[in-house]
A and B are shown apart, each in its own frame.
Chain A
């Protein structure tokens, strides 16, 4: 069993937290994990990405080969498209559809949507709205994690436990709202 995921977004959107949570769940199962990230640009509004690899066999490369990623999980729509060369033919692209516009030449949003529609297996949801409705605007990354969860090959309860552990020190309320966001994302993805 192996799963290779490209995590994408803009600095400050919490994509690395997704890796931390899934990683914790995987390590508990005795799985091998590698997670490569690029540091430094996150503070400055630059694009951020992480190569996240899980397997029941030892993993060689820290970087996912082009055309071999099972999934792209993104919290920003334009960023999700940046990694198409890595996505395998029937791979899944799971992304927030709310643009983060911090550059003057950000593409037209309808054109972006059209490109997303071209991807064979794509789940694009308004994670920002879902998170906001549940009372935690900053947890849209958890909504996206939920939307990706059906394809992660990990039991959902184990991911939930990892979420609990990750947010434990922030208190019961924070744990619960994050679980709720994740659940909402999952339900939406399962419908599609």
Chain B
């Protein structure tokens, strides 16, 4: 079979389709977005009527996928690492219910936080939920693992987690596909108690989950994705998981490493193989992308197991992503480095696009806030987060999806005034609505700006659930109609916009101002499409 080029994300998507996927549920999040987009644009997906519309957030996505699994069909959930925090409630409890149709959760971590607030390691979530976890080391493995994951999920009746990282998700290489498998038929499981987590049931299910652990470990031990490659030089052994394995191999000509290597791409950890390495080798280097997840476990709390080297002992840096040079250094190999970057090379940070509606919104907001001083604008996650940078310097917080409104509320409760929240339309439907409801319930004096550019912009312009209904939602939640304003974020409307904001800043209750103008990127793409269609 010939190879085609796939990003790591795309390999996962293609494998899911080939494995008979019936639905993908996801919220955009770098570096996972491309998985769902691939399925949305796939002829195969359309032919199979695979569900692929974006969910409102990762929690609803996870729940819908559990619903599809309940009905007997194969479902996949995709998100970035922090998205798993949002999906955590259904995720954790899906391990107690178990799966019916194959249920695969794909989480793309972002070591070095290329576009995230943290670099949390999703492997902990799999361990926390007591479910199997996969960590492919290359694009072919991403395909093979995903294809197998659905099978395994159904065999053990458990959800399964696949952990990707940025450098695999967004890297392209040749992949060979497997045979396409048809989708499952509708099939509600005969046991009516499987999905009802009343305590009496839940205790039984939890016991069943605990009993499955040795089976999961056995599968890891015999997995083709975990490999113990023996080596003649036992002065050192190396455990390498996921893409760290590539960085290790890069340092040896033809991949001929003289030391024993344990490649790990499936968890729970294959304990017997780790024991073999620790027993037979003088010291053991543990190279893993993300947190020292494996290293911590191997060391144990007493840290008396063999001579272990890794992120915790400083041979590898504790934070940030790995690369071949860092691994070379840890191996004691000579470091390679070209010429230094000349001093005159300066950073070129991302900025709001020329013509972006957020620029006009911030210009108006800054003007209105001038007399109140700094530190009173709470913001959120999206393109508008760039408003924290010069020349806008408009916002002072970004913590998590939806936090803008609730932090503004908390600060107002503390006595800070005025308190302004700046949030995007997609972020708002993701998790701003319940935040707003809290403020409405207590009539907290906050002014909320919902920047409506009709899209989920930062991740590439995916559809927003708020399209055209923001005002209605706010009214429905209980914001008083004369304190809901739609404004036009354009230069010509600056004065009137400032006036509206100033007035609402004074109002001692919940105000919602909605600057409305389409994102210029999605607008330009739409125009191009229209023009092309005309030809």
- Contact between chains at B339 and A87 (CB < 8 Å): yes
- CB-CB contacts of A24-60 with B at 8 A, as 1s and 0s? 0001000011111111110111110001000001111
Whole-angstrom distance between the alpha carbons of A51 and B340 in the complex? 18
- Contact between chains at A35 and B337 (CB < 8 Å): no
Q: Which residues from 479 to 526 on chain B have a C-beta closer than 8 Å to any C-beta of chain A? A: 521
- Contact between chains at A44 and B353 (CB < 8 Å): yes
Chain B residues with CB under 8 A of A69:
338
Whole-angstrom distance between the alpha carbons of A108 and B346 in the complex? 11
Sorting the interface of chain B by its residue count into under 10, 10 to 19, 20 to 34 or 35 or more gives 35 or more
- Rounded to whole Å, the gap between the CB of A111 and the closest CB of chain B is 5
Whole-angstrom distance between the alpha carbons of A60 and B251 in the complex? 9
- Contact between chains at A37 and B170 (CB < 8 Å): yes
- Contact between chains at B350 and A35 (CB < 8 Å): no
- Rounded to whole Å, the gap between the CB of A69 and the closest CB of chain B is 7
Assess whether A154 is interfacial by the CB under 8 Å rule. Answer: no
Q: When the two chains form the complex, which single residue of B30, B249, B335, B344 contacts A107, counting CB atoms closer than 8 Å?
A: B344
Residue of B nearest to A11 (CB): B350
Question: Which one of B251, B325, B352 has the highest number of Cβ atoms from chain A below 10 Å of its Cβ?
Answer: B325
- CB-CB contacts of A47-85 with B at 8 A, as 1s and 0s? 100010000011111110111110000000011011011
- Contact between chains at B246 and A85 (CB < 8 Å): no
- Contact between chains at B173 and A39 (CB < 8 Å): no
Assess whether B12 is interfacial by the CB under 8 Å rule. Answer: no
Q: Which residues from 338 to 385 on chain B have a C-beta closer than 8 Å to any C-beta of chain A? A: 338-342, 344-346, 348-353, 383
Chain A residues with CB under 8 A of B170:
36-39
Q: When the two chains form the complex, which single residue of A45, A84, A112 contacts B341, counting CB atoms closer than 8 Å?
A: A84
- Rounded to whole Å, the gap between the CB of B532 and the closest CB of chain A is 10
Assess whether A153 is interfacial by the CB under 8 Å rule. Answer: no
Whole-angstrom distance between the alpha carbons of A34 and B344 in the complex? 31
- Rounded to whole Å, the gap between the CB of B389 and the closest CB of chain A is 11
Binds B, one of A98-106, A125-133, A156-164: A98-106
Q: When the two chains form the complex, which single residue of B168, B337, B351, B458 contacts A67, counting CB atoms closer than 8 Å?
A: B337
- Contact between chains at A106 and B3 (CB < 8 Å): no
- Contact between chains at A39 and B243 (CB < 8 Å): no
Q: Which residues from 1 to 33 on chain B have a C-beta closer than 8 Å to any C-beta of chain A? A: 3, 5, 30-31
- Contact between chains at A87 and B338 (CB < 8 Å): yes
Q: When the two chains form the complex, which single residue of B168, B328, B353 contacts A43, counting CB atoms closer than 8 Å?
A: B353
Residue of A nearest to B383 (CB): A44
- Contact between chains at B350 and A81 (CB < 8 Å): no
- Rounded to whole Å, the gap between the CB of B172 and the closest CB of chain A is 4
Chain B residues with CB under 8 A of A37:
170-172
Interface residues of B (CB under 8 A from A): 3, 5, 30-31, 34, 114-115, 138, 167-168, 170-174, 243, 246-251, 254-255, 323-325, 328, 335-342, 344-346, 348-353, 383, 386, 458-460, 521
Between-chain CB contacts (< 8 Å), 9 pairs: A23-B172, A38-B114, A45-B350, A51-B171, A66-B337, A67-B337, A84-B340, A85-B338, A88-B338
Interface residues of A (CB under 8 A from B): 10, 23, 27, 32-41, 43-47, 51, 57-63, 65-69, 78-79, 81-82, 84-89, 91, 102-103, 105-108, 111-112, 115, 119
A40-B458, A41-B350, A115-B344 provided; 4 other pairs, C-beta below 8 A? A39-B460, A84-B339, A91-B338, A107-B345
The 4 closest A-B pairs by CB, nearest first: A67-B336, A44-B350, A61-B250, A36-B171
